[in-house]
C-alpha cells in the first residue's frame, strides 16, 4: 500500500513535467548536456546509485556545436556500487565542463536508499560535493577595453587573468524501476550558492540556479529478441524549459539504436538525436551519438558528438542471492 501511494506520487510528478511543456520557455543550456542519460543515470540522478547491482564505471566525452568557437566540451566519469547489507548504493561523479572562457570542474558523492517490494524498486538519493568555476579573463572582450598592448578590460569587475571560485553542490533524487518502467526525478544544485571571485578590483558574483529533471521510459516487448523503448526527459529551472523524447530499439540485448528530438515547440527546437550502442561482451557497453542541430546555431556548427563506455564488475559485489542478475533493459 505504501509503495502504491509512492508510485501514484511519482506519476503525478511525471504529469506535472508534461504540463510544464505547455508553458512557453526560452532556450538555454541549463545543465551539462548529455544524450546518453538513460545509459548513465547516475550523472543526473543520485537515487540511481547502486541500481546496476554491480561495481560499474562510466566514462563519457562530448563535443557540442563543433566548429563554433567557445562551444561546450564536457568529460564525465562515474563509479557506483550497491551496498546490499544496507539496501543502499554509493556513487561518485567527476565532471569537467568547458564553455568559452568558463570551466566548471566538480566532484560529487551520492548515497541512495532502496525500498524494494516484489517487482517494484523505489530509491531515494542524496548527493553532495563541490564545484570549482574558473573564469579566464584573457578570453573576454569588453566594449571599453584596450587590447592593443596586452589585455586591459577597463572594467573593475573583470580580471585580466584567470580567477577561480568554489561553491558547494547538492542534489536530491527519486528513482523507480519495475519490469517495464524506468523513471526518475532529480533536483540538482539545491543550494544554489553563488560563485564569488575576489581577485578583481571589485568582487564578481555569478549567481547559480537550481534545476529539476524528470525522465521516464517504458519497454514494449515485440518478441523474444526485439523490443521498443520510448523515453522522455524534461529539464527546467522554473524559468526556462527543455525536453527531449525518443524511441529506442533493442535487438538481442546487444544492439541498440535510438532516434530522438530535443525541443517541444518552435522556439525550443534544437536537434535531432541519433544513438547507436553495442555490447561486445556481457560487461561492456559502448555508446555513440550524433546531435544534428536544427536551430539557428546549425548554420555555424556541424552538430554534436558524444561517446561513452561502461564496464561492470558483476562478481565483486555480492547481492543477497550471492549472484548478480544482469538486466540489459535498464542499461
Q: Which domain holds residue 117?
A: 2-330
Give the start-end residues of each E strand in the chain. 55-63, 73-83, 88-99, 102-117, 120-136, 162-177, 181-188, 195-197, 204-206, 211-218, 220-221, 226-236, 241-251, 255-262, 271-278, 284-293, 304-313
Specify the number of domains making up the chain.
1
Domain CATH code at residue 80: 2.40.160.40
CA end-to-end span of the chain: 29
As given in the structure block, the three cell numbers for residue 107 are 566532484
pLDDT, block means (10 residues), the chain with 331 residues: 47 42 37 90 95 93 87 95 92 94 94 84 95 84 71 70 89 94 95 81 79 96 96 91 96 96 92 96 95 82 91 73 46 57
Task: Give the pLDDT score at 318.
Answer: 62
Amino acid at each position: 500500500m505504501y509503495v502504491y501511494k509512492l508510485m501514484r506520487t511519482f506519476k503525478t510528478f511525471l504529469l506535472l513535467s508534461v504540463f510544464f511543456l505547455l508553458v512557453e520557455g526560452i532556450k538555454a543550456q541549463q545543465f551539462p548536456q548529455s544524450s546518453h542519460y538513460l545509459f548513465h543515470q547516475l550523472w543526473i540522478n543520485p537515487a540511481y546509485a547502486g541500481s546496476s547491482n554491480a561495481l560499474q564505471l562510466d566514462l563519457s566525452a562530448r563535443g557540442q556545436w563543433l566548429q563554433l568557437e567557445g562551444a561546450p566540451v564536457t568529460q564525465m566519469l562515474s563509479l557506483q556500487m550497491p551496498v546490499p547489507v544496507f539496501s543502499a548504493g554509493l556513487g561518485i561523479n567527476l565532471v569537467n565542463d568547458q564553455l568559452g572562457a568558463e570551466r566548471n570542474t566538480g566532484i560529487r558523492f551520492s548515497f541512495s536508499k532502496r525500498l524494494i517490494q516484489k517487482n517494484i524498486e523505489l530509491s531515494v538519493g542524496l548527493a553532495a560535493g563541490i564545484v570549482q568555476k574558473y573564469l579566464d579573463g584573457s578570453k573576454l572582450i569588453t566594449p571599453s577595453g584596450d587590447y592593443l598592448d596586452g589585455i586591459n578590460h577597463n572594467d573593475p569587475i573583470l580580471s585580466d587573468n584567470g580567477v577561480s571560485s568554489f561553491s558547494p553542490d547538492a542534489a536530491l533524487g527519486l528513482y523507480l524501476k519495475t519490469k517495464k518502467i524506468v523513471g526518475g526525478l532529480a533536483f540538482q544544485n539545491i543550494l544554489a550558492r553563488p560563485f564569488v571571485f575576489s581577485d578583481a578590483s571589485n568582487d564578481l558574483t555569478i549567481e547559480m540556479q537550481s534545476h529539476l529533471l524528470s525522465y521516464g521510459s517504458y519497454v514494449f516487448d515485440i518478441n523474444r529478441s526485439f523490443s521498443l523503448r520510448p523515453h522522455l526527459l524534461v529539464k527546467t529551472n522554473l524559468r526556462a524549459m527543455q525536453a527531449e523524447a525518443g524511441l529506442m530499439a533493442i535487438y538481442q540485448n546487444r544492439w541498440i539504436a535510438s532516434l530522438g528530438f530535443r525541443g517541444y515547440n518552435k522556439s525550443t527546437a534544437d536537434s535531432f538525436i541519433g544513438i547507436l550502442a553495442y555490447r561486445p561482451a556481457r560487461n561492456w557497453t559502448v555508446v555513440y551519438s550524433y546531435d544534428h542541430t536544427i536551430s539557428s546555431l546549425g548554420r555555424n556548427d556541424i552538430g554534436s558528438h558524444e561517446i561513452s563506455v561502461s564496464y561492470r564488475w558483476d562478481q565483486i559485489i555480492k547481492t543477497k542471492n550471492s549472484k548478480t542478475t544482469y538486466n540489459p533493459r535498464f542499461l
